[in-house]
Homo-oligomer: A and B are copies of this chain.
Amino acid sequence: MKVLIVEDDQFHSTFLQDALVEAVPEVTEIVHAANGAIGEDEARRGEIEAIVMDLQMEQRNGIEAARTIWAERPQSRILFWSNYADDAYLRGIAHIVPEDSAYGYVLKTASRERLKLALRAVLVEGQIMVDREIHRLQKRGSSPRTRLDDSEFDVLIDLALGLQDKLIAERRGMSLRTVQNRLLSLYEKLGVISELDDEVMLNKRVRALNRALVTRTINIETLETTQRDLETWLKER
């Protein structure tokens, strides 16, 4: 079994390798890649189907790499190994994971045992496995009062990119007023109103982005990658 490790941090990479040979003795070869772009090449060249990948990397992050890898070889099994439990990563993965392919998400703060468990479960057994910590975070918002639905999330992205209402309406195919309704519920769910509310008036648009960032609903990488999507959309409209 060939396994590809995509990780740009030296120490984490070797730590990962150690855990891997312990947890999965059937490994015959381990290939390393220091960022997402190299990872894609290696996966292509080596016809590799078992991958452990960091999410935060220079150049090209894990989500983007996974997207092209899965596009070329949908049955690839990918275990994401990340520092953060940002909701944006989960949504990003949820959007690109192919039907019935195996993947997992483990935090770097997880114990070595849990990492080894996830390595076996995903790479060998082909299971889906998401770290409990992350699930907790995902759940926390699951009271529908706080959790954003997909269309709200789309509008949040556009807001974060700096589009104004009219453009968002055009891009998402809604009326101006509907966009504003979405924004309204965004302000509600992100806690823009409740906080410093009385007395202090805030710029809700900026505050919404601020809250989305500190609550880990989106992150800076989200801004960067969605920016590219926006640019292509702008060209072909």
Contacts and interface: CB of A to CB of B under 8 A. Distances in A.
A160 to B, nearest CB: 6
Residue of A161, A202, A206 contacting most chain B CB atoms (<10 Å): A206
A94 interface: no
A210 B167 CA distance: 17
Contact of A205 (B199, B203, B220, B234): B203
Interface of A: 9, 11-12, 15, 108, 159-164, 166-167, 192, 196, 199-207, 209-210, 213-214, 219-220, 223-224, 227, 231, 234
Given A11-B15, A205-B205, A162 B210 contact: yes
A214 B204 contact: no
- What is the total number of copies of this protein in its complex? 2
Contact of A160 (B196, B210, B227): B210
Contacts of A205: 203, 205-206
A210 B161 contact: yes
A160 B214 CA distance: 12
18 contacts: A11-B12, A159-B206, A160-B206, A161-B207, A162-B203, A163-B202, A164-B201, A164-B202, A167-B201, A196-B231, A200-B234, A205-B205, A209-B210, A213-B213, A213-B220, A213-B223, A214-B223, A220-B220
